[in-house]
Amino acid sequence: MKASPIVDETGQVQYAVNIFSDITARMELEQRKDEFIGMASHVLKTPITSLKGYTQLLKRQLEKQGVTEQVAMLDRMETQLTRLTHLISDLLWTCLKSRQAN
**pLDDT tens digits along 51-92:** 999 999 999 999 999 999 999 999 999 999 999 999 888 888
pLDDT at 94: 79
**Under DSSP, is residue 102 helix (H, G, I), strand (E, B) or coil?**
coil
In angstroms, rounded to a whole number, what is the distance separating the alpha carbons of residues 49 and 61? 19
- Longest CA pairwise span in the chain (Å): 90
pLDDT at 50: 93
> pLDDT band for position 99 (50/70/90)?
low
Q: Which residue has the higher pLDDT, 20 or 80?
A: 80
